[in-house]
Chain A
Amino acid sequence: MRSTLKLAVPFAVAALALGACGTKGGDTTPAAGGSGGAKVCDQKIGMFGALTGPNANLGIYIQNGVNLALDDYNAKHADCKVALANYDSQGDPTQAPALAKSAIDDKKVVGIVGPAFSGESKAAYPLFNEASMVAITPSATNPALADNGWKVFFRALGNDATQGPAAAKYIKDTVKSTKPFVIDDASEYGKGLADIVRKDLGTSVVGNDTVQVKQTDFSATVTKVTASGADAVFYGGYSPEAALLIKQLRDAGFKGTFVVADGVKDQSYIDNAKAAAEGTIITCPCVPPDVAPEFQKAYKAKFKEDPNTYSGEGYDAATILLDGIGEGKDRASMLDYVKNFDKKGVTKQLKFDAKGESADVKVFAYKVEDGKIVSVGEIK
């Protein structure tokens, strides 16, 4: 510890000197923030989620948003940049605890954007909580996550307790399904969501099934669906299985509507299911890109494509942490800062309730048309 201090002091002094130069010329950045002591530079925020593996797209969309937020911040604070530390869980809950540990052990990491999925969140949050490391998830939607009493838990979007009923409502009111069939993948996210949809659809559900993550042959499930005469299928799960499932359903002559949730809102779903994906309804508590035109423009300039699922939420989550860093917060003081945060983000008013849930929540419906995911409006 002492030796780190010895090293850190000259660095801090140098940083202060540089900082003093940087703030000349009417730059109104809040760099010389509240903490009063020597400003700590060279800090990091963590990005925790699937960056490789079959669900990597969802992680990368978020990571792009985070990177954009970092660029914004670093452009304003060229004297004291913040770096990104990636924790690639591949979406796998079994890898999450070790990654969380390594994030905690890196003393420069001030806060985390993530974990991206519900299963890995459940595995990683107890560790973050113990270490008082703030983690703002931009995408994990399992409602029960908020009930664990983790004080570091924050969710920058609506959860499945709002998404599930919205999906059920859409199936009932817009698809006008009288015989829905509900399938889940037994994951924390998929099962949790499907159970809510089952409950909301009530007695009209003609059948249920559970498949496995990494399963490729869905013949028994397909038979169950076609035999039930279902006119709509809801699938709670992620895109690799959803793509194979809808392809096999269509091959077997299923004509109804396929409804999925945010875990499938990813281009790879369409790439894999091809024509079978057409007409799929995707619900998502994520805002369509055109809600925040400026963000859309900046994102497009950097990544040559429109913002995708949870890019905006990732940007917002990172912005909260970066604002905190800008005001001189460290890992310990970040918690109170995020708790009391109340500013307008690109997706919504960023404010959390006592359980760490977003105060302002909307669910949108999307549809696959001509190989693209297009927004068809908010589900109200």
Chain B
Amino acid sequence: MQFLIDNFAALTVTGLAIGAVYSLIALGYTFVYGVLRLINFAHSEVFMYGSFAAVWVVMVIGGHPGGSIGQVIFWVALMFVAAMAMSGLVAVLIERVAYRPLRKRNAPPLIALISAIGASFVLSETMGLREKIAGWFGLDDTLRPYVNNSRNNVPLPSIIKPQGVFSIQGYEVTNVDIFVIVGAIAMMIMLDQFVSRSRLGRGIRAVAMDPEAAALMGVNRDRVIRVTFLVGGVMAGAAAVFYLLKIGSTRYDVGFILGVKAFTAAVLGGIGNLRGALLGGIVLGLAENYGSALVGTEWKDVVAFVLLVVILLFRPTGLLGESLGKARA
């Protein structure tokens, strides 16, 4: 307990940083759920592909430690572009291949769920087997640095050296911490504004609230769903960049645990609710860190999930309540 009090600032800042990453991934789950009433279990792979795109782009342009400020900003900007593009693409692809054909045939939701889990495995294993896949095309030698050790951790070339900016209670808050927390929250504010103000955002809310009525009012449902997946994917891509800056490496199965955590965050905040995802992610990130400090790091998942169950006992629809449509209406 004394440890928690003494290091409250450090635990809070690092908890916020990882919580912000959970939030951004959680948005993808919550967004799709709000519109389709479907848990997109392949969303964790969307994140994973984004993280690989970000690592690869830095490798291609030759990012290295000790670059100038301008270079570092350029590298990070490219990481965002690559990760968001890749994640957005994968998300839209998943929707096109794994969900739309089922929706057209009015398959029950359970079938879509199986399809989601299947898509998740296919995507993850494709990445894990990329060395062999490149080998089929005779490209494994040309692509050696990108496909080598395809089931191992893949490090992001170090481009930013974390440096203390200011200190609270003896903890040096680093530039990376600040960038991750502020950046993630800015992303979410932008998304929130997009949903509540833009025309497409209105369409998304309309479909979430009542698909039939929305269709009667001239909203193109397929288009809205595609945009939903795209936006969720882009957010996951951003999350991937923040995650890499903070943690520094990725792996073909990195999405699994993060996906479970982000899904938990979405449920904690109230699935289908954008602001809920933000809150849920941050609460989960903090709870994990405080829990680790109180009872030991090996208990952090236990603490986080006990918290989830307790909150759901009292608020079965999550902290901020369910529905995308209602929260905005």
Interface residues of A (CB under 8 A from B): 52-54, 56-57, 186, 209-212, 214-224, 226-227, 240, 243-244, 247-248, 251-253, 268, 271-275
* Minimum Cβ distance to chain B for residue A246 (Å): 11
Tell yes or no: B172 within 8 A of A by CB.
yes
Measured in the bound complex, the distance between the Cα atoms of B259 and A347 in whole Å is 46
- Give the chain A neighbours of B292 by CB distance below 8 A: 220-221
* Minimum Cβ distance to chain A for residue B11 (Å): 6
Closest residue of B by beta carbon distance from A272: B155
Q: Say whether A275 contacts B158, CB under 8 Å.
A: yes
The 8 closest A-B pairs by CB, nearest first: A219-B14, A220-B292, A210-B298, A223-B10, A251-B162, A272-B155, A227-B7, A220-B289
Closest residue of B by beta carbon distance from A271: B155
* Minimum Cβ distance to chain B for residue A26 (Å): 45
Measured in the bound complex, the distance between the Cα atoms of B123 and A2 in whole Å is 48
Write 16 A-B pairs (CB below 8 A) sorted by A numbering: A53-B152, A54-B153, A212-B297, A220-B11, A220-B14, A220-B293, A220-B300, A221-B297, A222-B14, A226-B10, A227-B6, A240-B153, A244-B249, A251-B176, A253-B164, A272-B155
- Give the chain A neighbours of B297 by CB distance below 8 A: 209-212, 215, 218, 220-221, 224
Given contacts A224-B293, A247-B248, contact A253 B158 (CB under 8 A): no
Closest residue of A by beta carbon distance from B172: A253
Closest residue of B by beta carbon distance from A52: B151
Given contacts A244-B247, A247-B248, contact A223 B14 (CB under 8 A): yes
**Can you name 13 extra interface pairs (CB under 8 A) apart from A53-B152, A223-B293?**
A210-B297, A211-B297, A212-B301, A214-B257, A215-B297, A219-B18, A223-B14, A224-B293, A248-B247, A248-B248, A251-B174, A252-B172, A253-B172
* Minimum Cβ distance to chain B for residue A154 (Å): 30
Q: Say whether B158 contacts A274, CB under 8 Å.
A: yes
Measured in the bound complex, the distance between the Cα atoms of B297 and A218 in whole Å is 9
Given contacts A54-B152, A220-B11, A220-B288, contact A212 B3 (CB under 8 A): no
Tell yes or no: B251 within 8 A of A by CB.
yes
What is the predominant secondary structure among interface residues of chain A facing chain B? helix
Measured in the bound complex, the distance between the Cα atoms of B173 and A305 in whole Å is 43
Measured in the bound complex, the distance between the Cα atoms of B10 and A275 in whole Å is 24
Tell yes or no: B203 within 8 A of A by CB.
no
Q: Say whether A216 contacts B247, CB under 8 Å.
A: yes
- Give the chain A neighbours of B14 by CB distance below 8 A: 219-220, 222-223
Residues 140-165 (chain B) with a chain A CB within 8 angstroms:
149, 151-153, 155, 157-158, 162, 164
Measured in the bound complex, the distance between the Cα atoms of B158 and A251 in whole Å is 11
Q: Say whether B153 contacts A272, CB under 8 Å.
A: yes
Measured in the bound complex, the distance between the Cα atoms of B153 and A54 in whole Å is 7
Tell yes or no: B17 within 8 A of A by CB.
yes
* Minimum Cβ distance to chain A for residue B216 (Å): 47
- Give the chain A neighbours of B7 by CB distance below 8 A: 223-224, 227
Q: Say whether B152 contacts A224, CB under 8 Å.
A: no
- Give the chain B neighbours of A271 by CB distance below 8 A: 155
Tell yes or no: B34 within 8 A of A by CB.
no
- Give the chain B neighbours of A272 by CB distance below 8 A: 153, 155, 249
- Give the chain A neighbours of B246 by CB distance below 8 A: 217
Tell yes or no: B65 within 8 A of A by CB.
yes
Measured in the bound complex, the distance between the Cα atoms of B300 and A271 in whole Å is 28
Q: Say whether B288 contacts A244, CB under 8 Å.
A: no
Measured in the bound complex, the distance between the Cα atoms of B10 and A210 in whole Å is 19
Tell yes or no: B296 within 8 A of A by CB.
yes
Measured in the bound complex, the distance between the Cα atoms of B288 and A226 in whole Å is 18
Closest residue of A by beta carbon distance from B155: A272
- Give the chain A neighbours of B281 by CB distance below 8 A: none
- Give the chain A neighbours of B152 by CB distance below 8 A: 53-54, 56-57, 240, 268
* Minimum Cβ distance to chain A for residue B218 (Å): 46
Residues 300-325 (chain B) with a chain A CB within 8 angstroms:
300-301
Q: Say whether B251 contacts A274, CB under 8 Å.
A: no
Closest residue of A by beta carbon distance from B301: A212
* Minimum Cβ distance to chain A for residue B36 (Å): 30
Measured in the bound complex, the distance between the Cα atoms of B302 and A210 in whole Å is 14
Measured in the bound complex, the distance between the Cα atoms of B173 and A206 in whole Å is 24
Q: Say whether A217 contacts B298, CB under 8 Å.
A: no
- Give the chain B neighbours of A218 by CB distance below 8 A: 297
Measured in the bound complex, the distance between the Cα atoms of B6 and A209 in whole Å is 17
Q: Say whether A243 contacts B249, CB under 8 Å.
A: yes
